[in-house]
Amino acid sequence: MNLKHNMERWTIEDSADLYQIREWGAGYFGISEKGDVVVTPLRDKSVSVSLPEIISGIVARGYDMPMLLRFEDILDSQITQLHESFRSAIARFDYKGQYKGVYPIKVNQQKQVIETITRIGKFYHHGLEAGSKAELIAALAPDRGGLIAVPVQDGRRGNPVVWARRFFPELLTLEGDSGARALIQRHAEAVIEVPVSGDGAFFDVDTRQALDDAGGAAPDA
């Protein structure tokens, strides 16, 4: 009897407090007057969509759950807010430097996410940060002319450089350590600079002595 009485008195506000949706929702998620979890991708309360209605539509099309839902407008809103906040602060305090935002690929390597962030962030020159060769490869953007991925730290270019297949014939004609540098300069319009962390990009091991100095071990000749 008490349980029934308590359930009858349960309100939408109780649900919002219990699940703390205002805290983790960051203005993008909430509960409607019907009790549905809703998404407001632009943080505009007049533009919202019900998650139960989305799921019902997906199931009606014959798809099974679970399913990942991704809202590009939330990424757009967050990138815009980030850069505009820094832009406002820079103007307010007459800061002479610039802000360059980057997205660490290790956070989410899914192709759709990376493509969305690079497309939306293009207006602000929002970049990608790579921490491994795989992430450096993922930073290539052939559809936007980005065919050479170069790791960069503090404005200094390093290694390894990732090349699109179209450059292989030219690469095969190179000799010495400086040949690829000239090729990068020749195709500057195809270069994407990818911020990296650590000093690994400047650690060049291409001789036995360099390997020994790095604490490695090479087999006897």
pLDDT tens-place string over residues 28-53: 999 988 889 999 988 777 788 999 99
**What local confidence, expressed as pLDDT, does residue 212 receive?**
66
What is the structure's pLDDT at 221? 38
Per-residue pLDDT in tens (0 to 9) along the chain, 221 residues: 455 545 568 888 888 889 999 889 888 999 988 889 999 988 777 788 999 999 999 999 999 989 889 899 999 999 999 999 999 999 999 999 889 898 888 888 888 888 889 888 888 988 888 777 777 787 787 777 888 988 888 888 888 888 988 998 988 888 766 678 888 999 999 998 888 876 666 666 666 666 666 555 444 43
Write the CA distances from 207 to 157, 161, 211, integer angstroms.
Answer: 21, 18, 6
ω into 219 cis (within 30 of 0) = no
**Cβ neighbours of residue 159 under 8 Å, at least 6 residues apart?**
151, 201, 202, 204
Is-contact 79 124, C-beta < 8 A? yes
Helix or strand holding residue 95 (H, E): none
Q: Which residues pair with 152 in a beta bridge?
A: 157, 195
Q: What is the DSSP string of 16-31?
A: HHHHTHHHHHTTSEEE
CA nearest 149: which of 138, 162, 158? 162
User: How far apart (Å, rounded) are the C-alpha atoms in residues 152 and 149?
Assistant: 10
Tokens of 97: 């430097």
pLDDT of amino acid 53? 94
> Which residue bears the tokens 């990732």?
162
- Distance CA(74)–CA(65), nearest Å, equals 23
